[in-house]
Each structure stands twice: as C-alpha cells, then as structure tokens.
Amino acid sequence: MEWCLSRLLLVLLGLCAVLATLGPLQAQTKPNMHNDGVKQSKKMAVVAVRISGSNNKVHHFSAEVAKSPSERARGLMYRQQLAPNAGMLFVFEDAGPQTFWMKNTYLPLDLLFIDAQRRVHHIAANAVPFSEKIISSRGDVVAVLEINGGLAKKLGIRVGDRVDWGADNERPGL
C-alpha cells in the first residue's frame, strides 16, 4: 500500500511539473474580438450604398468594405446581429466569378452580386447560416453586398437594379 501511495505521489508531482512548464491555461476564445465578431485592432471602412430599383424606390445602406483578402475571408463570420440598414460590401480588383459560403456565419443573409456596370447580376436570397454549400455569383462580378436575409425581397430589390457606393451616396442618418 505504501509503495502505491509513493508511486501515486511521484506521478502527481511529475504532472504538476509538466503543467508548470506549460504556463497558465487560457480559455479558447477568439482574441481581440468585440461581441459582434469585429476585430478590435482593425476597423473596416464604412461607405454609403444606394440601390435604385426599377420600381422607382431607392434604398440606402451603410456597409463595411471588405477589400483585403483577410477581410473578405472573414466577412460577417461570428456576427450575431446586423442592423436593418447595414451590410458588408466585398470589392474585387477585377471582374470575375465569385463564390461564398456561410461557414461560421450566424445570420441568414441575402447576397447581391454586382456586375461591372454596378447592376445587381444575381441575388442569393436567405443564405443558410453555417452552411458550407457554395454560393456562386453565376457570372462575372466586381462586388457583392451582403444584407440581412429576406430584405432584398421585402424591399423589392431585383436583378438589374443599380448599386452605387461611396461618398456621393451619403445621406443624413446613415
């Protein structure tokens, strides 16, 4: 019995020594993140986006601009809310086919694929949260605007509608 206790004590001391060399254990969290998933160290530019519809309605959004590959890769991942007039605008250097997915994305989204003439080329409505199914632009685009799921239908946004962004589209209250 004494031999078992001595051996147990040696094992416990060895385990403590190993743990001491590892340093303090920390919870597995996303470092430098706000509650909405935005990195604290780098804020994205925000632009006013205006969609002019064939139904003579104009819709205004305030969109974060994802220009760099890392910003585009993160997108709206980990966000748990998105204001009704907010979105994210993905801008690409050249026109080309684009694909997206909803991995690590909590919110259903409408993806508005925008062609070189700044017209809505395709709408992927109500993309399913956390889905790894590929969502295609179905052609060459220069930008994609992500907005809350179902909003494009609710507002009457359609393929062919004009999409403009930048300082020229500023309006009070955005």
Statement: residue 39 has pLDDT above 70: no
Tokens 């685009």 identify what position? 141
Question: DSSP per residue over 10-77, as a string?
Answer: HHHHHHHHHHHHH--------TTB-TTS-BSS-PPPEEEEEEE-TTS-EEEEEEEEE-SHHHHHHTTT
Residue 168: predicted pLDDT: 54
**Does the global pTM surpass 0.75?**
no
Please give the radius of gyration of the chain, using alpha carbons only, rounded to the nearest integer. Answer: 24
Mean pLDDT throughout 38-65?
A: 83
Instruction: Report which of residues 136 and 34 the model is more confident about.
Output: 136
Report the DSSP beta bridge partners of residue 12. Answer: none
The 46-52 sheet, strands edge to edge: 120-127, 109-114, 135-148, 86-100, 58-66, 46-52, 162-165
CATH code for residues 46-169: 2.60.120.1140
- Digit-coded pLDDT (tens) for 94-108: 999 999 999 999 999
Name the DSSP letter for residue 157. Answer: -
pLDDT of 167 > 80? The answer is: no
Phi and psi at residue 69, in whole multiples of 5°? Answer: -55, -40
Where along the chain do its domains lie? 46-169
As a whole number of angstroms, the distance between CA 20 and CA 88 comes to 45
Amino acid identity of 155? Answer: L
